[in-house]
Amino acid sequence: MIRAGIAVLLMILNLILYFFFGMLVMPKKGDRRICVSEAVFAGFFLYYFLFALVCIPIMYKWRPLSMLTGIWGTAVPVICAVSFIVSFRSLKKNLPAFTEYLKKNLPYLAAFLVITVVMVIIVVCNYQFTLDAAYYVANVTTSLQTDTLNIYDPYTGAWQDHFEMRYFFAVFPLNDAVFCSIFKIHPLIWCKTTIAGDAISLTNLVLFMTGKRLFKGDHAKTLLFVLFADVMNFFFITIYTTSTFLLTRTYEGKSLLANVVLPGVFYIYMRLSEDQKSLYNWGLLFLVAIGSPVLSSSSNMLIPAMIAVTIMPLCILKRDITVIFKSLVCMLPEVILMLTYVAYVKGKFVFYTYPR
Amino acid sequence: MQSLNINDAGFSYIFNCMALYSEGGVYFVIYVISLLFVCTIAGRYPALQNKDGTDTRKRDRLIFLPQAVMMLLTVFNPVFPVLLNSIFDVNKEYYRFLWMLPVITLIAYAGVKIVFETSKNTARGLIAAVLLICIFMSAGTCIYENGYAKAENIYKMPAELLQVAQIIHRDSDVEYPRAMFEYDYNMQIRQYDASILLPCTREQYLNAVSGGLDHEKIHAEENYYNRLLAVVALNIRLDKEDFLKGLEETDTEYVVLSSANDMLSHIKSMGLKEVGRTANHIVLHYGLETREEFSLADYSEVWAMGY
């Protein structure tokens, strides 16, 4: 029971961390109001992008998990503190409006919270057998057991002489290992309770943001929209659908890609369709583009494709050629990573786990 | 999609892919109906307009139509997967492109529009919402169709698996014992306890259970884990000498079987001794003649050298 309580507290802590990371990139000048859900959404991607920047060089140099834990465990509170300091004035200014917003929409927000909590309880209390957990969770357990980063094969425990490039940039499970190390929590509890809860919260958050925009801030409609979407998630089930990933493989990066990243890009498209010149909107898209490869290497294929089919048509619809260039810039990180992987598969290079 | 190959299916691949993706569900059909609804009907009549009287169709078309058309021209174009597969191998992962279509978003949006824009009063709205939920529930398969399995513990692992790990560590005199398990436990044990090593990877196990092993491969003087897979996963009776050679060559000293496994007595007859049991599982031990003890790589010298 205590461990379950800790897992739930960590679930909330993660969302708070994302919020503070997000506040770093939220516009603070002028009369623009801070949107908490958008700050959490942006912060989630910034968090994982920064984590990858720290993690990958340490992993490449075969340094231990404990070193990464020390560095990232120090960096996160520092970043949050900096974020709090630089955002303090803005947060203070927004507080009355936020309180007013809460008062005005309390029944709807409470109902949204209830829907999310019920969904989290249903999913985290359920027993699921999924094959990919043999990699994703075992990778966390293996990293902790060996105090290494991606050097031992999660499936067998055998030492690997080179890094598997499919997972080299998708270091999402290594963040799990860092937190398990800091809080002395078992990877199964962390992945299948804490991260699963966060994944569902973020999924509903993106649905909430989308609904709010579609219904121009009408919270009653937004709430029904979230309810309908969640009901469908329980019934749109085959082994391939986004809903299945959400409800059975909740804690995997692929689940986040399917239910947070891609709907998130669609949300950004809605923003861009109203203002395709907004630097903030493009910045948000770029943040998603650089943060999502850390979650799953499938992002390298899906994000450029999503931008191409969703965002690029704005070039014609808005008669704005700059949309193409800005889209290409957002696609570039994934395209580079995809080409890197192709080069690896074709045998052009290997990153060894020992000096040669 | 393991069961589908773009080279074999050709231009019909996308249709087969969609069929497998939906498995008889009609969410794609509802998506198309919803698209037509929000782009043509919704907002056309006063009852379906926004409260301020504005027509929502123009905005809805801008939001949902361009992406739908682009998806139709690319992802759902029968030529596209064939073309793409000639550059990258997308056989297994092409279905993920279908994730880009905002099926749930659009259907939920259309549903809310129906409820709020056509219902004049709360009761009618409530009835419409319930009806729509019923439609959504019957449009596909429920995740808990076969019942809701409550996790036995906070690890979301079978309680017996945790006991098996304890038995192995209690019996073993090494930090990293290697054990062979049946399918489910093989996929789960290292999620719980990474100090237990396995003789074969997930792919090797899947290859065996999906018919990838023949007599020649099982008896080959390489990949000795195939002998363990033959006995434990495929219930093939191997000679004692062949099986024990498999254990020796892979440094496997434990075999964990369910008590209902037909091979139990056969394996015991080859000299493996029971060292513990749970309600439904038995842990067998084999005394390795020669053991290459597993230890973690020491990188401290490498770091000292400045790498």
B266-290 pLDDT per residue, tens: 999 999 999 999 999 999 999 999 8
Q: B190: nearest CA in chain A? A: A138
pLDDT at A80 over 60: yes
Average pLDDT, chain A: 95
Token readout for A300 is: 């390298």
Cα A56 from Cα A43, distance rounded (Å): 20
Q: What is the pLDDT averaged over residues A116-138?
A: 95
B159-191 pLDDT per residue, tens: 999 999 999 999 999 999 999 999 999 999 999
Residue-wise DSSP of A298-351 = THHHHHHHHIIIIITTHHHHTT-THHHHHHHHHHHHHHHHHHHHHHHHTTS---
Q: What is the pLDDT averaged over residues A31-35?
A: 80
pLDDT of residue A126: 96
The domain ranges of chain A are 2-345
Confidence band for B45, pLDDT divided at 50, 70 and 90: low
B56-93 pLDDT per residue, tens: 788 899 999 999 999 999 999 999 999 999 988 888 89
Cα A284 from Cα A277, distance rounded (Å): 13
Q: How far is B144 from chain A (nearest CA, A)?
A: 8
**Burial of A129 from C-beta contacts in 10 A (0-12 / 13-18 / 19+):** middle
A264-287 pLDDT per residue, tens: 999 999 999 999 999 999 999 999
A209-226 pLDDT per residue, tens: 999 999 999 999 999 999
For helices A219-235 and B103-118, what crossing angle results, to 10°?
130
Q: What is the pLDDT averaged over residues A80-104?
A: 93
Q: What is the pLDDT averaged over residues B12-19?
A: 94
The domain ranges of chain B are 6-138, 159-285
Instruction: Quote the percentage of chain B above a pLDDT of 70.
Output: 95
Cα A254 from Cα A297, distance rounded (Å): 8
Chain A residues in contact with B21 by the CB 8 A cut-off are 238, 240-241
A143-170 pLDDT per residue, tens: 999 999 999 999 999 999 999 999 999 9
Confidence band for B211, pLDDT divided at 50, 70 and 90: very high
pLDDT at B26 over 70: yes
Residues in chain B: 307
Chain B residues in contact with A248 by the CB 8 A cut-off are 143
Q: What is the pLDDT averaged over residues A305-331?
A: 96
pLDDT at B121 over 80: no
pLDDT of residue A178: 98
pLDDT of residue B171: 96
N- to C-terminal Cα separation, chain A: 49
B177 touches chain A (CB under 8 A): no
pLDDT of residue A259: 98
Q: What is the pLDDT averaged over residues A126-153?
A: 95
Smallest Cβ–Cβ distance between A317 and the set B62, B103, B198 belongs to B62
Best CA proximity match to B209, nearest among B233, B242, B239, B182: B233
pLDDT at A104 over 80: yes
Write down the ipTM of this complex.
0.95
pLDDT at B46 over 70: no
Are the C-beta atoms of A11 and A194 separated by less than 8 Å?
yes
The count of C-alpha atoms lying within 13 angstroms of the C-alpha of B28, restricted to the half-sphere facing its C-beta, is 19
Q: What are phi and psi of B150, to 5 degrees?
A: -80, 135
Chain A residues in contact with B26 by the CB 8 A cut-off are none
Cβ-defined contact of A243 to B143 (cutoff 8 Å):
yes
Written in H, E and C, the secondary structure of chain B is CCCCCHHHHHHHHHHHHHHHHHCCCCHHHHHHHHHHHHHHHCCCCHHHCCCCCCCCHHHHHHHHHHHHHHHHHCCCCCHHHHHHHHHCCCCCCHHHHHHHCCHHHHHHHHHHHHHHHHCCCHHHHHHHHHHHHHHHHHCCECCCCCCCCECCCCCCCCHHHHHHHHHHHHHCCCCCCEEECCHHHHHHHHHHCCCCECCCCHHHHHHHHCCCCCHHHHHCCCCCHHHHHHHHCCCCCCCHHHHHHHHHHCCCCEEEEECCCCCHHHHHHCCCEEEEECCCEEEEECCCCCCCCCCCCCCHHHHHCCC
